[in-house]
Amino acid sequence: MENLIQVKQLPIIEERLKELEVTIKQKTDTALSLVVTEDTYKEIKKVRSDLNKEFKELEDLRKQIKNQVMKPYEEFEKIYKEVTGHYNIADVELAKKIKEVEQVLKDEKERQIREYFEEYKSSLNLGYDFITFEKLNLNITLSASVKSLKEQAKLFLDKVSTDIQVINNTEDNGELMFEYLKCLDIGKAMAIVSARLKAIEEQKKAKELAEQKEKERQETIKKVEQTQQELAPPTEQLAPPIIQEEQEKEYKVNFTVIGTKEKLRQLKEFLNNGGYKYE
């Protein structure tokens, strides 16, 4: 293959460049040895300009040589791509055909495993629609054997069967079964149900506590209202007190009064005006 492609002609410039290097170095060394002063700086500016002019001429020559070298290479590359393009066409077409055949083989392998999955699922009396072949998440490749894939399917279904037996033997298993059939993970399902029951119980306790506090509040209000009614002055004009020869017997009553500052002030005024004794 190497003998088929040969470089026939390239510009020979290395020897000429080496000859030029001696002359260029002499000129640049001489220029660098010059002392720049007020008297000489104009002359040195001309030396610098001449050196830049020579450099530009060499640069133009380099670009011409590059074009001369690249032109045949570009023509060669064009022909080369046309020739080797057949490899690319063949590669794309062959890859497409290989992929089609590989897909057929994978589909056939999946068909066999799916058929086994449904048969074994039926033998375990797992009639739930949620237990599907897709939830097995098998990685069916050309290198994976049908036997190993069937073993994975069997392990999956055996585990599901065991989990369902555990759930069926659990008290109040309705919620647990509902959650399990969504994820087919008994640990996760138990955690979800447990958290839900705990939240319900906490809500129940909070409700009972709130009801108890409301009951106590209503009882307190009722007692206060009753006390206020007992202590309130009669609405009708009191008849002149009848003077009795014997002093009436006094009684002592202990109670707690709850009310605003204004109401308590009014109560105190009432007691004072009524001649009551209080502590």
What is the residue-wise DSSP string for 182-247? HH--HHHHHHHHHHHHHHHHHHHHHHHHHHHHHHHHHHHHHHHHHHHHHHSPPSSPPPPPPP-SSP
| pLDDT category of residue 268 using cuts at 50, 70 and 90 | confident
Cβ(233)–Cβ(270) below 8 Å: yes
Put residue 99 in one of left, alpha, beta given phi > 0 → left and psi -120 to 50 → alpha: alpha
Residue 275 Rama label (left phi>0; alpha psi -120 to 50; beta): left
pLDDT single digits (tens) 236-254: 555 555 555 556 667 666 6
The predicted pLDDT at position 172 comes to 75
Domain definitions of the chain by residue range: 12-102
113: left (phi over 0), alpha (psi -120 to 50) or beta: alpha
pLDDT reported for residue 242? 53
Is the pTM value of this prediction over 0.95?
Answer: no
Q: What is the pLDDT of residue 226?
A: 81
Percent of the chain with pLDDT over 90: 31
CA nearest neighbour of 270 among 242, 228, 236: 228
Write down the pLDDT at residue 171: 79
Residue with tokens 């009432």: 270
